[in-house]
Amino acid sequence: MKYMVYMEFAMNTKIVKIDETNESALREAGQVLQQGGLVAFPTETVYGLGGDALNKESSRKIYAAKGRPSDNPLIVHIADMEALVPIVKEVTPEAERIAQSFWPGPLTMILPKSDKVPYETTGGLDTVAVRMPSHPVARKLIEYGGGYVAAPSANTSGKPSPTVAKYVIEDMDGRVDMILDGGEVGIGLESTIIDLTVTPPQILRPGYVTLDMLEEILEHVDVDKTILSNESGLAPKAPGMKYRHYAPSGELTIVDGETKQVVAYINQETEKQQVSGQKVGVIGSLETKDLYGADVVKNIGSRLDEEAIARNLYRILREFDDEKVEVIFSESFSGTGMGQAIMNRLLKAAGHKVIHLENKKMEE
Ligand code: TXA
Ligand code: MG
């Protein structure tokens, strides 16, 4: 079955190392998009898998290449403010303010869509998600590609989003026409998504642009309750957030508590797993990495440096797969500010499996 899927996608993928000065490659990639083809490219958040957002065939191809359910809508990427007008019903004053403050950058807004945007791109919804990225390669590609690029993260559905081209190539070689390798991305977690079709506006996915930053621009902003908890029994408002996501192959457990206790607990569990023959990995920090006895210990950065933690998380999850780690323990990080985005992704990667050492309660 796997083999059949592979055969269907055996296309010739052109892989190009690139920066924004490589005009000929950017124009070629733009041509590919205009002709209905797919191009994977770097953005400041994660790599995207791009197709012409106004061409329904391109959107169908994106779902197929990712192995993604087609009710999970795509984000439309634009390169300038004028491009927003034709694809939405109305550019509201709120949308205007958000764009002025956060575009170009890691912020996606949801607005009612115009007829120009096919339902294939919005997963059947009457709303559209729009983002203006800041990465110079992304911006030129959008411009040369016709102005509207639908792009989910460039990973196979369910896997951690790629932050380096190596993992784009691993997932997408043979499935897309071109891969633009622009090196490591800057942020490492997907954009913040804010829904402007509801009052008050609501954050559907946390990211680099935090609740506090948004509340400086819009007076009151809600947060989708499902972002850090799976206890409410509610479905997340962003269709894509309901799927198991960002998951490594090994079984990941988050251990929360006072650092010393966490290290001791993880070491004790590591030994148990090793005795039963499992290869164990740990996501530690700059402060703790030398204290662990696991087979593979990763330093995600200083516990005080959220930007480093965000940038390293997905790459580390992927590296555990490369190293065939079977059981993974991770420290827990602060859930405020950008930490909310980090914990949201980590909790999803762990299927919400958290051990709280203080009250010795185990969450499933
Ligand atoms: O940083 C990013 O946003 C990256 C880069 C490539 O730009 N893209 C990205 O796309 O993360 P994707 O497809 O992996 O995630 C898009 C999320 C999904 O959870 C999807 O359900 C949600 O956005 N979404 C898209 N359109 C929506 C809509 N109209 N209403 C609600 N949620 C929407
Ligand atoms: Mg994604």
Say if residue 360's pLDDT is above 80: no
Residue closest by Cα to atom 3 of ligand 1: 191
Q: Averaged over 300-305, what is the pLDDT?
A: 96
CA of 74 to the centre of ligand 1 (A): 5
Q: Averaged over 271-300, what is the pLDDT?
A: 98
Q: Mind listing the pLDDT tens digit for each residue in 221-256?
A: 999 988 877 765 677 787 766 666 788 999 999 999
Site to substitute for ligand 1 among 103, 108, 109, most atoms within 8 A of C-beta: 108
pLDDT at 319: 97
Residue 200 preceded by cis peptide, ω within 30: yes
Q: Which atom of ligand 1 is nearest to the CA of 106?
A: 1
Q: Mind listing the pLDDT tens digit for each residue in 58-106?
A: 999 999 999 988 889 999 999 999 999 999 999 999 999 999 999 999 9
The ligand with the least distance to the CA atom of 209 is 1
CA of 130 to the centre of ligand 1 (A): 9
CA of 291 to the centre of ligand 2 (A): 33
Q: Which helix (H) or strand (E) holds 255?
A: strand 251-256
Ligand 1 contacts (CB < 6 A) are 43, 45-46, 48, 72-75, 108, 110, 122, 125, 127-129, 131, 133, 151-153, 190-191, 193, 204, 238-241
pLDDT at 70: 84
Q: What is the CA radius of gyration of the chain?
A: 20
pTM of structure: 0.94
**Domains annotated on the chain, with CATH:** 14-234 (3.90.870.10), 251-363 (3.40.50.11030)
